[in-house]
Structure 1
Amino acid sequence: MPKDFLKDTQDEYDVVVIGSGLAGLTAANTLARQGRSVLLCEQHYKLGGMATWFKRPGGHIFDISLHGFPIGMIKSCKRYWTREIADSIVQLKNIRFDNPMFSLSTTFNRDDFSQLLIQEFNVPEATVKEFFDTARSMNFYDDQGTTTKQLFDKFFPGREDVVRLLMEPITYANGSTLEDPAISYGIVFSNFMSKGVFTFQGGTDRLIKLMHEDLKKSGVDVRINVDVEKINLENGRVQSITANGKTIKCKSIVSNSNLKLTIFDLVGEQHFDKKFIEDAQEVRLNNSSTQVYMAMKPDEQIPEETGDLLFSSAAPAFRTDLLLSRDITSRTYSFYYPQTRPEGRPRSLVVSSTNARFEDWAKLSEDEYKASKADLAETTLDALEKYVPNVRERVDHVEVSTPKTFQRYTKHALGSSFGTKFEGLAVSRAIPEQVPGLYHAGSVGIIMSGWLGAINYGVIVSNDVDSYIMKSSTQSQLADSSK
């Protein structure tokens, strides 16, 4: 008999959380700490969503998305998770850029970037200060009509080298482009500029293990291999879910699934207003990426001066179309040294990441797909040779993932690495107004993407859910007393 992954669940929960990305995990933990009964359903056999890892023979552990986040992660993890998790967040101190326009290293914070712009790029100090102050003052309620390109044209007209320095890391971090609203750039950029780039020591496997332990301590009923097929409504309100063929009642739902999948597949457009559906249909999915995972042989170490993050490009200028092109000119390398997992075997690994379009990979035949993956591995090794000499003789394992890989494991529409473009945030926030009791938390609108954005969005939504349940309970009690 197949295993029943929903065995011994309750008949009803206060909240069901669909999906265990960082937003879903944080929402579940926060609500359980507030005294709510919570069922967390994850369709994969591992928690974490895109914050995940995989193992290969030889003691190699590859992190999928452990590349860097702002210092705000420390505060959020300390408050909504545990001190042990927060204390394991460490700074990446050597961020490198290497392209035809410039080659430099930075600690990636405001002081260091200001000095680079003034001394190396000859930008007036007053202009640099005004740019940083403008970016820092941006918020979600600002004018959304100004694009990032227009922001740069205002402060650095004709300076493609400056635009490249300021834009490449953020494009890598959350899929931003020059055509997106300036606030989606300014808010994220300022978060990083606060204190630099940080990562989690011990790897994603240790992070998710600690989060799972805290979820159980909080009382969350955590279930893996549970595929939620439908969100069921009664009189327009959340009533239950159907998962693995079983119906479970609930007062509220937090969907950490893709925004469009939540609306059109799990619920159905017939349950929403026409104008809302029109807005939801207009939401653009963000791009995906390809990644090449390379493990060095046990006795082969990479010098730490190679850097922690390396933004490398052969393109003469920064262009969005070049970043997404199948003819790859730009790669971001994440270097993992033995101290990444200090308690494990001493291993050095490299992950090369490149922005990509889903359709460029989805339309290939099986043979073309395999050949394209093999070519990506070979060309990436060629490119890495500049920074890790004789890499082919020193490497122990090479593996490739594509947008189709991300779609397969996360069920994310088009394998999108960062959810939706900016307009997705307003649609995500408006869902409870359409279907009382239904909430969405995940990677939307660029601002609420990446590790920190996802965790903080999970917190915001969990507080909304708690207020909804409390209000609904009060209304029910008043109705009963009036009978």
Structure 2
Amino acid sequence: MILEGLYDFIARNPSILLIGFLLYVFIFGLSLLINRKKPGRNPFWRNHEKPIEKLVTDVRARDAVIKQRFTPAKVPDNLDAIVIGSGMGGMTAAALLSQAGKKVLVLEQHDQAGGCCHTYYSKKGFEFDTGIHYVGDMGERDVSRFLCNQLTDGQVEWIAMDEAYDTVALGEADKARRYRMVRGREEYIRELKKNFPKDHEAIDKYMNLIHVARTGLKGMMMMKIIPKWLSKILAATGIVDLLTNYFKYSRKTVTEVLNELTDNQELKATLSYIWGDYGVIPKEASFSFHAGLVNHYLQGSYYPRGGPSEIAFHIVPVIERSGGRILVQAPVSKILTNEKGRAVGVTVKRTTGDVDIKAKYIISNAGANNTFKYLLPPEVATKSSLYPLIDKIGPSASFITVFLGLDGTDEEMGLTSGNIWYYRDSDIDGAMSKFYNLDVDDVGVEDLPLLYISSPSAKDPSFPHRFPGKSVLLVITLAKYEWFEQWKDERIKHRGDDYNAIKDRIGERIIQQCIGLYPKMENKVSLIKVGTPVTNNYYLGTTKGEMYGLNHNQTRFLPEIALEFRPKTDIPGLYLTGQDVSTCGFVSVMYAGLFCASSILNRNLMNDMMKLRKDVIKEAKKKKVE
């Protein structure tokens, strides 16, 4: 009875609970100041940015940096940390730890460093990006740009793409209605209102919701940084919803929000088109995450000169300066643990005999699913609170990639640096649901409902000089892993005629759809390569061809689940980085790497970085005055 009365009193006076909680947090914070562990060295102890040097285009010189093949003799002695996977989350954590004086070994299963930052070069003389297609928040004054500069010695030059960074194309490809997404918030709104003159009120309400939902992102990340027990209290009591509105809007889908605003299906398609960047159809997607992504590109989009491999090319020397290495063709088959269940090392699988390597900190950038279901001993993995959540969330969408090499320049082909998001039907939910229900033998018989079309050659000013007279298109569409699962155990390039026939059919269908959008490319395609979900397993180390790690559905963004996916796991010595810690996307995984390094170094690296940035800006202003 007493407890019931207390609960009733709190329910009628929620402010009492909040005041009590804030008092508790104050006392807890005070205890941390008194008893906290000594922080590690600050990686932002100086400005690491240098004047940008000439682009290195010599293939051998580049390979010497990003294709250092693993051998036991190349493994440094007395390692502080081992990172599994050289995607951006892993490279960021490794670079920051290296700048703090740690010796770090990064192990990559592919034949070049960079994860999704790597580039694919064909024997016919074409180059393609594979995972980094466009990046927001990379303007000169953006914090993300500053962080990237610190990781790369300021050697990656980010080129602004066209004003219309994305164009939504709806309907039949050769007669598609096109809607441009242009940089600048006011310009973006103005363009939408020009195209939808009867829906001004709905557009204004949508943009307001985008802003409100986006502002809660810091609250979501806070849940991953503060002590786990404190996050659990915040989630269980509902106090988290008083501190951030992120989870409130995560409980609503994109379709639900848009249905409340308008009946115009064409407008709804235009406002939700970007779901392909996270792989969840609008009726299942968290509105908060969608809002964050829309805001991410509002000030325009950028692409690295020289292609995404420039990023790894300039991070490798940062890691090597502290005695570390990034070694490729080094598939990690096991995370080693001791009798107490602490992660103490990894096993690298080799045909000449497996190699065990030890370090104090083990950082996995291989994804939560790979880490807990395949790398850790089952008796250790199953004790983690993350283990049951991996299946509860499930894998993200898988995809098909088509690489098209064209004989002709960007200008001759009519290509621009802006992307095209093509939808055959403005009812995206309905069209994609129907598509996912197809049998594999029917895929590509009719036009595909979604195509993301990007031209790396048009985005990179160095491309025409490196590959004169040529241009490229990269085309991505979503797919079901089950369509190709029967070939998962077959050797790459030896999967048989049936598999190749399906790829050829899909590739030819996509070419015809692209010709409808880019008529000048007809009869100019000299290279076509099709990658399927099982191709992704081989090159990206996925298990079901997944594009974005764990699914970015609503379940993932529930506060009680989001708080669990943090850099420091409940397995001593094991840390996570990458898109399962934060979300998908280049900038997001950079911050995952920063938070991972923060946890290991026991210091708030975000504060350290912001202080350095403030000092750098102040110094630049001072020099300008002089």
| Residue 428 to residue 80, structure 1, CA distance change in 2 (3 Å) | farther
3-state DSSP class of the match of 1:419?
coil
Distance 1:8 1:132 in 2: 49
3-state DSSP class of the match of 1:17?
strand
Match of 2:574 in 1: 438
| Residue 30 to residue 213, structure 1, CA distance change in 2 (3 Å) | same
Gaps of 5+ in 2: 1-68, 139-143, 221-243, 488-494, 604-626
Quick one: which of 308, 311, 314 aligns to 2:421?
311
Quick one: which of 496, 510, 517 aligns to 1:380?
510
8 A contact 1:202–1:342 mirrored in 2: no
What's the CA shift for 1:74? 2.1
Cα deviation, 1:294-348, whole Å, max 9, x if unaligned, reads: 1111568545565621111222421242565635222111123272525412221
Distance 1:277 1:103 in 2: 44
Quick one: which of 313, 320, 324 aligns to 1:209?
313
Distance 1:390 1:116 in 2: 27
| Residue 173 to residue 103, structure 1, CA distance change in 2 (3 Å) | same
Letter in structure 1 aligned against 2:290: Y
Match of 1:148 in 2: 254
Match of 1:93 in 2: 163
Match of 1:348 in 2: 471
TM-score (norm 1): 0.87
Match of 2:181 in 1: 106
| Residue 281 to residue 316, structure 1, CA distance change in 2 (3 Å) | closer
Does residue 501 of structure 2 align to residue 371 of structure 1?
yes
Does residue 153 of structure 2 align to residue 82 of structure 1?
yes
Distance 1:323 1:339 in 2: 37
3-state DSSP class of the match of 2:72?
coil
Distance 1:300 1:97 in 2: 20
Letter in structure 2 aligned against 1:448: T
What's the CA shift for 1:428? 6.1
TM-score (norm 2): 0.68
Letter in structure 2 aligned against 1:127: K
Distance 1:323 1:33 in 2: 48
After the TM superposition, which of the residue ranges 256-265 and 244-253 deviates more from structure 2?
244-253
After the TM superposition, which of the residue ranges 47-56 and 128-137 deviates more from structure 2?
128-137
Cα deviation, 1:200-231, whole Å, max 9, x if unaligned, reads: 12112333322223332354222111121211
8 A contact 2:419–2:452 mirrored in 1: yes
Letter in structure 1 aligned against 2:500: K
Larger radius of gyration: 2
| Residue 218 to residue 309, structure 1, CA distance change in 2 (3 Å) | farther
What's the CA shift for 1:61? 0.8
Q: Aligned-residue CA RMSD in angstroms?
A: 2.6
Gaps of 5+ in 1: 469-483
Letter in structure 1 aligned against 2:403: Y
| Residue 129 to residue 55, structure 1, CA distance change in 2 (3 Å) | closer
8 A contact 2:406–2:525 mirrored in 1: yes
What's the CA shift for 1:270? 1.8
What's the CA shift for 1:252? 0.8
What's the CA shift for 1:402? 1.1
| Residue 363 to residue 8, structure 1, CA distance change in 2 (3 Å) | closer
Match of 2:345 in 1: 240
8 A contact 1:323–1:330 mirrored in 2: no
Letter in structure 1 aligned against 2:278: N
What's the CA shift for 1:374? 0.4
8 A contact 2:397–2:479 mirrored in 1: yes
Does residue 433 of structure 2 align to residue 321 of structure 1?
yes
Distance 2:408 2:72 in 1: 42
Match of 2:120 in 1: 54
Q: How does 1:2-41 map to 2 (within 5 A)?
A: 5-41=71-107
After the TM superposition, which of the residue ranges 374-383 and 61-70 deviates more from structure 2?
61-70
Match of 2:134 in 1: 68
3-state DSSP class of the match of 1:146?
coil
Quick one: which of 553, 560, 565 aligns to 1:429?
565
| Residue 270 to residue 427, structure 1, CA distance change in 2 (3 Å) | farther
What's the CA shift for 1:134? 2.3
| Residue 107 to residue 11, structure 1, CA distance change in 2 (3 Å) | same
3-state DSSP class of the match of 1:383?
helix
8 A contact 2:98–2:318 mirrored in 1: no
Does residue 462 of structure 2 align to residue 462 of structure 1?
no
3-state DSSP class of the match of 2:101?
coil
What's the CA shift for 1:11? 4.7
Cα deviation, 1:393-450, whole Å, max 9, x if unaligned, reads: 21221111111111111211211111112428737635734201211112227x5211
3-state DSSP class of the match of 1:83?
coil
- State the identity as a percent: 19
Distance 2:328 2:210 in 1: 44
Distance 1:92 1:220 in 2: 39
8 A contact 1:419–1:444 mirrored in 2: yes
Distance 1:5 1:427 in 2: 38
8 A contact 2:414–2:520 mirrored in 1: no
| Residue 118 to residue 93, structure 1, CA distance change in 2 (3 Å) | closer
Cα deviation, 1:112-162, whole Å, max 9, x if unaligned, reads: 3211332321323542442333233232253242222222233x2323222
